[in-house]
């Protein structure tokens, strides 16, 4: 499978615990994005990497959230001291300026990691 993969697919944790999610983008894609999606809503942008550089962070990304992409390939999103409000689907997407289907920056999404904080 050459699509975007995310692990784990589901995570249940207790409030106050730390969790880490992993995203493996499409191998030729240099851009990687994290989004959060709650039920009935569209994805909300969290952060964006170009290669290993984190170029943009949303105000939604509090100091409890950190994302890395150390070698410009896979990325991790860590949430420390989880709160019930962190329960959501966390989506990863990747794109490449040079590998476009459409006209601009269409992003290819993974299946997401569903986080439930008890």
Partner 1 sequence: GESVGLHLPTLSVQEGDNSIINCAYSNSASDYFIWYKQESGKGPQFIIDIRSNMDKRQGQRVTVLLNKTVKHLSLQIAATQPGDSAVYFCAENKITGGFKTIFGAGTRLFVKA
Query: Which is nearer to partner 1, 28 or 83 (by Cβ)?
Result: 28
What are the residues facing 33 on neighbouring strands? 48, 93
Positive or negative, the CA dihedral 20, 21, 22, 23 is: negative
CB of 70 to partner 1, least distance (A): 21
Query: Which is nearer to partner 1, 30 or 80 (by Cβ)?
Result: 30
At which residue do the structure tokens 């949303």 appear? 58
Query: Which is nearer to partner 1, 19 or 33 (by Cβ)?
Result: 33
DSSP assignment of 28-39 equals T--EEEEEEE-T
Q: Which of residues 57-116 bind partner 1 (CB under 8 A)?
A: 58, 91, 93, 95, 101-112
Those residues whose C-beta lies under 8 Å from the C-beta of residue 42, and which sit 6 or more positions away, are: none
Task: Please report, as ranges, the residues that interact with partner 1 according to CB under 8 A.
Answer: 4, 31, 33, 35, 40-45, 48, 55-56, 58, 91, 93, 95, 101-112
């Amino acid at each position: 499978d050459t699509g975007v993969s995310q692990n784990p697919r589901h995570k249940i944790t207790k409030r106050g615990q730390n969790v880490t999610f992993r995203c493996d983008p499409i191998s030729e894609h240099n851009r990687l994005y994290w989004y959060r999606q709650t039920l009935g809503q569209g994805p909300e942008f969290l952060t964006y990497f170009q290669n290993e550089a984190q170029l943009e962070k949303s105000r939604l990304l509090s100091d409890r959230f950190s994302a890395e992409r150390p070698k410009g390939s896979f990325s991790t999103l860590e949430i420390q001291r989880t709160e019930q409000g962190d329960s959501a689907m966390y989506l990863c997407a990747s794109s490449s300026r040079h590998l476009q289907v459409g006209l601009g920056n269409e992003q290819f999404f993974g299946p997401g990691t569903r986080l439930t904080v008890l």
